[in-house]
Amino acid sequence: MTRVLVADDNPVVRAGLIALLDGRGATVVVAEAADGREAYEAALLHRPDVVLLDVRMPGVDGLAALPRLVRVAPVMMLTYSAEPGTVREALRLGARGYLVHGEFTVEQLVEAVREVGAGGSHFSATAARAPRATDAGSPAAPAGVVSPSISLNPNEEASRMQPDVGQSTAGRRRQTPLSRKGLGVHRLSRREVEVMELIAVGMNNQQIAAACFISEKTVKNHINRIFAKLHSNSRTQAVATWLGTRVEREVAR
C-alpha cells in the first residue's frame, strides 16, 4: 500500500481527493491537513509514503513547508498554481512531482502517487513545460507566494512524533476506506464510479463538481445515468444499492 497525506486548505478538495484515492490502486490516505504546519506535524506522526501538497494555503503555505516535508517523505505538489516560477521553485525545494488541477484523470493521479512513492517523479503537462520556460532575470517564484518558513526547534520536532490524544483532524489516521463495487457489477463508467463514491460520502452536486473539476450540469448528467443503472430514484436508494445495504420489498397486491 502507498500511504498518502493530503494537504489542501479547501475542505471540499481534500474530501474529494480522499474519496477518490483512499483504497484505490493500493493507496490509502492516512492523514489530511489544512496548511503547511499541519502537514508537517501529520507527516512526522504518520510517516506517509507520499505527501500531496497544495501551494497557496493560509498560514504556512506549501512552498514554505516544502523544505521540511521533503526530509520526511516524497512530496508531490497538487495545486491550481501553474505559474512557471512556482513550479521551478517547488522543484528547487525538493518536490518530486507537480500536478495542476484539471490536467489529469483520477487514474493518472493514482499512477502519479504510485510513481512518486516508488522514488520516481510525475508532472502534468503545464508543470512539465515549466522547468524549460526560463527567462533571464525572472524570479524563482512570484512575489507573495512564499510565506515565512516553518520554525520548529528540535524539541518541538521530537514531540510532534508522539501520538496526541487531542490531535487535530490533520493528525487523525483515516478510517477504513469506503467499500466499492467493481466496475462490472453495476456497469458504471470510471467517472460514474468517482461521482457515486462522492455521493456516498455525502457530497452535494456543487461539492462533487469542485472535487472532480467538472460542471454541476455534468454532475447531474452522471447522476441521472447512475440512478438508471442502479435502479434508484434517490440518492439514499443509490447509496444503499452501492454499499450493498438496500433491501427490496415486493408487496403482493
pTM listed for this prediction:
0.58
Strands 75-79, 97-100: pairing kind: parallel
One DSSP character per residue, the chain reads: -EEEEEE-S-HHHHHHHHHHHTTSTTEEEEEEESSHHHHHHHHHHH--SEEEE-S--SSS-HHHHHHHHTTTS-EEEEES---HHHHHHHHHTT-SEEEETTS--HHHHHHHHHHHHTT--EE-HHHHHGGG---TT--SS-TT-PPPPP---HHHHHHHTS--TT--GGGSPP-SPPP---HHHHT--HHHHHHHHHHHTT--HHHHHHHHT--HHHHHHHHHHHHHHTT-SSHHHHHHHHHT-----PPP-
Outline which parts of the chain fall under CATH 3.40.50.2300. Answer: 2-162
Q: What is the pLDDT of residues 99-143, one digit of tens each?
A: 998 888 888 899 999 999 999 999 988 888 886 554 433 333 333
Cell of 96: 518530486
Give the bridge partners for 214, in sequence order: none
Q: What is the pLDDT of residues 6-54, one digit of tens each?
A: 999 999 889 989 988 988 878 999 999 999 999 999 999 999 999 999 9
- pLDDT the model gives residue 114: 92
Give the bridge partners for 152, in sequence order: none
| Nearest one of 232, 166, 223, 163 to 192, comparing CA atoms | 223
Outline which parts of the chain fall under CATH 1.10.10.10. Answer: 183-243
State the CATH class of domain 2-162: alpha beta
- pLDDT the model gives residue 164: 34
- pLDDT the model gives residue 220: 92
State the CATH class of domain 183-243: mainly alpha
Q: What is the pLDDT of residues 181-193, one digit of tens each?
A: 445 567 888 888 8
- pLDDT the model gives residue 245: 66
